[in-house]
Chain A
Amino acid sequence: MKLGVSLYSYQQSHFFKELTLEDQIREVGENLPGADGIEIVDEMSLRYPDPGEDFVRQWHGWMERYGTVPVTMDVALDVLQFRDHVMSTEEAVERLERDIRLAKRLGFANVRVLSACPFDVMAGALPLAENLDIRLGKEIHQPMRLEGQQVSEIIEHIERTGTKHMGIVPDFGIFGFRPSEVLLAQYERRGAKAEASAASVDLSALLRSGSAPFDLSDIINHTAGNLRVAFKQFINDGTCVPEMKAVFSVLKAFAEERVPRPGELDYIVVAEAIMQSNTSLETMRDLAKHVISCHGKFNYMSEIPGRPGQYQDIAIDYKGAIGALVKGGFDGYINSEYEGQRYFQDRTRAEMMDEVDQVRRHHEMLRRLTGVGIPAEAQ
């Protein structure tokens, strides 16, 4: 196993111009023992779509100077770019091909496409990826699961064609089993009731133990953002697409049982419980050979009570996930992907999170759980 950081983790420091791109790379290379992997979101870290040859030279110079390695480049798919029509599959393939060429120029080994990227778009760009020796990985992001068509169609393609350039990028959010405490705290600052947070945590536990009053299999292929928008509409006017109706109706009733006079926000907080994937660690172990790299998603690293200097994310099963990857023989990168800074951004800069500190805490945990970066005599 190898360790790295997605510079997505430093998005806030980047926005406020507190850390330059070089500062972020230096932090990974110099301050995170055992870590050397760099992952970026192209449209965040670069002048896009062409950062220029001077930048490309500078980039390779930074990799050399800080001892870092370009691992995975994350790309987006804005299908309304042309505005006068929805992007066709062919046009989406062309966009992905341009991103693959950009990744190659910067020395990346892998390109991650979004969980919502259609399989046909990946398959269409695969010949170029093979030609340039870039591996394409589809992000598996909560509330998606490892079980289901979005993963199986990739595995079937690999088995049928023998390609070594396609796979998956599990986001550790799929191993989440309750809403993060910092997400719930932000909802409460916006006016949600404490009972709604408690109901959301309780419902998450019921779903995890398989004793919830509904089955989520109809909705797991939707992104969390899209589910939130759809549930908000259902609360407001009772409408939704048929496949969501059963889950939404029971969810609404559950909220009304547990929260006194629930407002719109309370319903949405309770609905965070259905954003948990509840995917299986056995499946992760079985699929480990198809993993391109991992997003070490986390939202808040808190100190473990009674263990000074050791940290955890109380909402994500890191121990289980890393154990499954190790058992399955995965020897690639886990790249930290800190996202919880977002849940403090309703506040002033002084009250927002320190991304550098959170990623350092995350790496303490990753080293402890993987053994990477820890001298042999200390293990």
Chain B
Amino acid sequence: MFDNYLIRSDSLRNDIVDGEVVGFSMAVRIANYRGVFLSLHTGYYLVVDGVDYPREVQTFEVNGQPPRGFDEIKGCVWEHWDYDDEAILHVAKPGGLALGAHVIQFQQCVIAAYGYLSTDEEWVKAPPKTGTGAGSDKTPQVITYHLELNEGVEA
């Protein structure tokens, strides 16, 4: 769903902390027709210009809270990511990305479900590997975005 609109096209930025570029970020929406309890959101398959950025270097900024890692998000079992709300996906990468054009391959993993599934126990042990389409039921394919990075912002 919303294949080309899950990342806001003008949102790619470098993140700057105390004058130092610590990574990059983009604004994202949920790939579903509804929101979900935040705990169900397990991270992204994210390849930028051929480089894979796994969920371990990703943090997620939503609901007015500072960016949180997906280990912490896992514990947000009563907090909701509402359908209306844009969130910011941050990626730790010292030096950030170069100004100009980037190719981003993107898939969101949210283990929302229609009731009980055969994968439930397995996904309690570990969420599905990002990029496989498992746990991404409404937009199971990896989407390629061509985005421009124009400026950095103080995070």
Contact = CB atoms under 8 A, between A and B. Distances in A.
A48 B77 CA distance: 13
Interface of A: 8, 11-12, 14-17, 41, 43-45, 47-49, 76-86, 114-118, 223, 225-226, 241, 342, 345-349
Nearest to A16: B5
Contacts of A15: 2, 5, 29, 33, 83
Contact of B115 (A47, A85, A117): A117
Contact of A82 (B3, B39, B112): B39
Contacts of B82: 43, 47-48
Contacts, number: 99
B114 A77 contact: yes
Contact of B35 (A44, A77, A346, A349): A44
Contacts of B145: none
Contacts of A80: 39-40, 111, 113, 120, 123-124
Nearest to B137: A225
A116 B115 contact: yes
A348 B4 contact: yes
A80 B113 CA distance: 8
B147 to A, nearest CB: 15
Interface of B: 1-5, 29, 33-37, 39-40, 74-75, 77-78, 80, 82-84, 111-118, 120-121, 123-124, 137
Most chain A beta-carbon neighbours within 10 Å: one of B114, B121, B124:
B114
A116 B116 CA distance: 7
B103 to A, nearest CB: 18
A83 B37 CA distance: 11
A226 B120 CA distance: 13
B40 A78 contact: yes
Given A78-B113, A83-B124, A118-B116, A41 B74 contact: no
B29 A77 contact: no
Given A43-B80, A83-B74, A115-B115, 12 more contacts: A15-B83, A41-B33, A45-B83, A47-B82, A49-B80, A76-B114, A78-B113, A80-B39, A82-B39, A83-B39, A83-B40, A225-B114
